[in-house]
Amino acid sequence: MKKWLITLGVLILIIGGGLIGAGAYFYHVAIARGDKAFITQSTKLSKKSPVYREKYWYAHVKKQTWQIESHDHLKLVAWYIPKKGATKTVVLAHGFAGNKSLMGAWAGMYHELGYNVLVPDARAAGASQGSAIGYGWLERRDDLQWAKTVVKKTKTTQIVMSGISMGAAGMTMASGEKQLPQIKAYVVDSPFTSAKDIISYQAKQLYHLPAFPLVDITSAITKLRAGYTFGEADAVAQIEKNHQPIMIISGTKDEFVPTRMAKKLYRNAHQPKQLWLVKGAAHTTAITHDYAAYKQHVKTFLAKYVK
């Protein structure tokens, strides 16, 4: 009996150690700063792109470099591009494993619509400091701090908060916090419902692994190392608290952040809202799927709330 208990204890230690090791590995893959091998993004310009003009403009336009210090003392960096005579500004958040240099299509569109454009590097991305990706939860406070900086440094009277993918989820989470009076609306493209939902989904899609117990273990490690759990990073809970108008965009062929997540966010939103499902578009590709339609949909929605 004693021998059996010893053997069982050894097995438990081995299995437990293996799970903790796996959790540490997935923390490195999903949370820790660094290149993400499963994400392919490019700044290469192609004249065949529907948004070539916007990307070319963004690559060559003169930009101001802004810096702020986050609440937890990280240096965060952004590009600011003014629009002559404009008193409305968009704060534009990039996606997972992205950076501000990849946001040309959206930055160009908003500038064409008459907005000053502020495009930050999220914490743990680009020129900003930070060792851990926050899946929108840590970034939500940064996004709102950037909005305050816009008000402080410019003559902006109206702000639109916008983002793609993780940036969209972060903006959705920001919408549930106390708002500046200058923030008039949110536009979010391909947001996920929560860190737990998207990481569980990707564990299955990319690694064919069940969420339990790996995601829970990785979440516990994230709490220790980055200060939040996957359950806390909940865009659904935040959108339920939001009172600002919000437009949610999703492609029906999105296999990275499934469309059902956008639909769930829409169902749980109580403020003025719009869900635009772009037939045939993949993850964050609605803007290139039909640029003219994308621009018109965003323009029409915002015209109700931003003058």
Give me the pLDDT at residue 11, please.
38
Percent of the chain with pLDDT over 70: 90
Q: Which amino acid is at 83?
A: K
Structure tokens at 222: 């994230």
CA distance 171 to 160: 10
Mention every residue, 6+ apart, whose C-beta is less than 8 A from residue 150.
89, 91, 116, 118, 156, 159, 182
Which of 116, 36, 57 shows the shortest CA–CA distance to 84?
Answer: 116
Longest dimension (CA), the chain: 83
Determine the pLDDT at residue 72: 96
| Pairing between β-strand 246-251 and β-strand 158-164 as defined by DSSP bridges | unpaired
Q: What are the DSSP E strand ranges found in the chain?
A: 64-69, 75-81, 88-93, 116-120, 158-164, 183-189, 246-251, 273-278
DSSP 180: P
Report the predicted TM-score, pTM, of the whole model to 2 decimal places: 0.92
The pLDDT value given to residue 35: 74
Q: Which of 205-214, 242-251, 271-280, 286-295 has the lowest mean pLDDT?
A: 205-214
> Is the per-residue pLDDT at 153 higher than 90?
yes
Over residues 80-136, the pLDDT tens digits come to: 999 999 999 999 999 999 999 999 999 999 999 999 999 999 999 999 999 999 999
Q: Are strands 183-189 and 246-251 parallel, antiparallel or unpaired?
A: parallel
Rounded to whole angstroms, how far apart are CA atoms 139 and 228? Answer: 12
Contact 20, 216 (CB under 8 A): no
Residue 36 pLDDT: 58
Asked whether the beta carbons of 192 and 166 are under 8 A apart, the reply is yes
Domains for the chain: give ranges and CATH numbers: 47-194+233-303 (3.40.50.1820)
Report how far Cα 135 is from the mean position of its chain's Cα atoms: 7
Question: What's the average model confidence in pLDDT over 265-281?
Answer: 97
Measured CA to CA, the distance from residue 242 to residue 173 in angstroms comes to: 9
The structure tokens listed for 284 are 């964050």
Q: What is the pLDDT of residues 166-221, one digit of tens each?
A: 999 999 999 999 999 999 999 999 999 999 999 999 988 877 777 778 899 999 99
DSSP 102: G
